[in-house]
Amino acid sequence: MSAHEDVADLLPALIALRRDLHAHPELAFAEHRTAAIVAAALRELKLEVHEGLGGTGVVGLLRNGSGPSVGLRADMDALPMQEEGSGLPHASRHSGVHHGCGHDGHTAMLLGAARQLLRHRERFKGTVVFIFQPAEEGRGGAKAMVDAGLFERFPCDAVYALHNWPDLPLGQAQTRPGPIMAAADRFDITVRGRGGHAAQPQQTPDAILAASQLVTQLNTIVARRIAPDESAVLSVTRIEGGHSHNVLPAEVQITGTVRSFDPVAQDRIEAALRDCAAGVALGSGTEIAVSYTRYYPATINSAAEAELALAAAAEAGLQASLAPRPAFTSEDFAFMLRARPGAYLWLGQGHAGDSRPLHHPGYDFNDAALPLGIRWFVAVVRKALPA
Ligand SMILES: [Zn+2]
Ligand SMILES: [Zn+2]
């Protein structure tokens, strides 16, 4: 019975590994120690190991007879933030670097799955591609691996990943067909006047006033240009300009982010943002330059694989349900799902009475979720690669 699949004997070593990774977090594309630990663990299992894919990415291959192939992905990077208030013996030893998103747990779970699959090889037939990617946090490590030929070198009929999810109680899991995580765009706007004396406003376009008008207009885009039943968000997160009470600055900078699920809405928001900037520039006499970068696409599950992911969760003993709506955070597994069918699962890891979210300075991965994630990966493989 998979629901009671025994992985207990794997846990002490995996918990120790997970905490060691937590104590030694590494930033995007600098996961050298982590990648070396992963590669050594895969070699110890006698898997074929490929290192340095897309920077610090590692791929392990488990060939088990002829059959389809499935990719399982874990991310390895930590966040550029200080761990605070966790009070843990395995707290980060690297100042300003923190495993605040639980990728230490994802890495440990995927290594555990490799071990478990190997000792029950008779229960699946085909090839498992273990994908350990760098730089999930805003730097596009998944894209780097795809661009480096991940799926050409290691063909995958489908790819799967999970993320620990503090909003769901431990023991639950959710996903859905279609969008599960948002596309993430970034805009950087520079408003230029000439600058001048605060008491002689007639001599320069007022960059501060123009920027203020623009911020107000940007906040109308989602409300007025996007259909009410469609989801998107635009947030202005930084505005900077001026140094003194009696000088009109020459320049003001505005930065923010846009999250959406549908490329048509995404196009419309970008176009509206550019229109607003052009309109304010014309009305105010300023020059406004817009840089708009789409850094992560929406994470979109294919229907059959989302269904398989939920069935695997149920088989792994999880309380599996359809996610009622996608999340507005983003995920670079999106790049793998653009290249291959697949699905992304939210694995509950909430502690009762502890609401520390992902990216919180005191966040720590819940080790009680380790066996659940291992069982899910294993169940996915057995469903995708039936014996
Ligand atoms: Zn994160
Ligand atoms: Zn994450």
Q: What is the pLDDT of residues 46-88, one digit of tens each?
A: 999 999 999 999 999 999 999 999 999 999 999 999 999 878 9
| Distance between Cα 228 and ligand 1 center (Å) | 29
- Of 207 and 3, the one with more pLDDT: 207
**At residue 221, does pLDDT exceed 80?**
yes
| Distance between Cα 235 and ligand 2 center (Å) | 21
| Distance between Cα 205 and ligand 1 center (Å) | 41
Whole-number Å distance between alpha carbons of 208 and 205: 9
Say which residue the tokens 């066996």 belong to: 371
In this predicted structure, what is the pLDDT of residue 350?
86
Ligand nearest to the CA of 103: 2
Instruction: Extract the tokens encoding 173.
Output: 């899991």
| Distance between Cα 71 and ligand 2 center (Å) | 18
pLDDT interval class at 2 (50, 70, 90): very low
Ligand nearest to the CA of 163: 2
**At residue 33, does pLDDT exceed 70?**
yes
| Distance between Cα 201 and ligand 2 center (Å) | 48
**Pairing status of strand 342-350 against strand 158-169:** parallel
In this predicted structure, what is the pLDDT of residue 235?
97
With a pLDDT cut of 70, the percent of the chain lying above it is 98
334: left (phi over 0), alpha (psi -120 to 50) or beta: alpha
* pLDDT (tens digit per residue) in 260-300: 999 999 999 999 999 999 999 999 999 999 999 999 999 99
Arithmetic mean of pLDDT, 208-227: 97
| Distance between Cα 139 and ligand 2 center (Å) | 12
**At residue 24, does pLDDT exceed 90?**
yes
Task: Round the CA-based radius of gyration of the chain to a whole number and report it.
Answer: 24
| Distance between Cα 306 and ligand 2 center (Å) | 19
Arithmetic mean of pLDDT, 304-332: 97
Give the residue extent of every domain in the chain. 2-180+298-384, 183-296
Arithmetic mean of pLDDT, 196-218: 97
CATH of the structural domain 2-180+298-384, one choice from 3.30.2130.10, 3.20.130.10, 3.40.50.300, 3.40.630.10:
3.40.630.10
Determine which helix (DSSP H) or strand (DSSP E) holds 49, and give its type and residue range: strand 48-53
Whole-number Å distance between alpha carbons of 70 and 359: 30
In this predicted structure, what is the pLDDT of residue 85?
84
- Of 242 and 86, the one with more pLDDT: 242
CATH of the structural domain 183-296, one choice from 3.20.20.70, 3.30.200.20, 3.30.70.360, 3.90.960.10:
3.30.70.360
* pLDDT (tens digit per residue) in 82-138: 999 878 999 999 999 999 999 999 999 999 999 999 999 999 999 999 999 999 998
**Pairing status of strand 183-192 against strand 251-260:** antiparallel
**Mean pLDDT across the chain:** 96
Ligand nearest to the CA of 359: 1
The neighbouring-strand residues paired with 63 are 127
- Of 352 and 275, the one with more pLDDT: 275
**At residue 354, does pLDDT exceed 90?**
no
Arithmetic mean of pLDDT, 308-335: 97
Listed in sequence order, the residues at least 6 apart from 105 whose beta carbon sits closer than 8 Å to its beta carbon are 18, 164, 349, 365, 366, 367, 369, 370, 373
In this predicted structure, what is the pLDDT of residue 86?
79
In this predicted structure, what is the pLDDT of residue 1?
43
| Distance between Cα 178 and ligand 1 center (Å) | 21
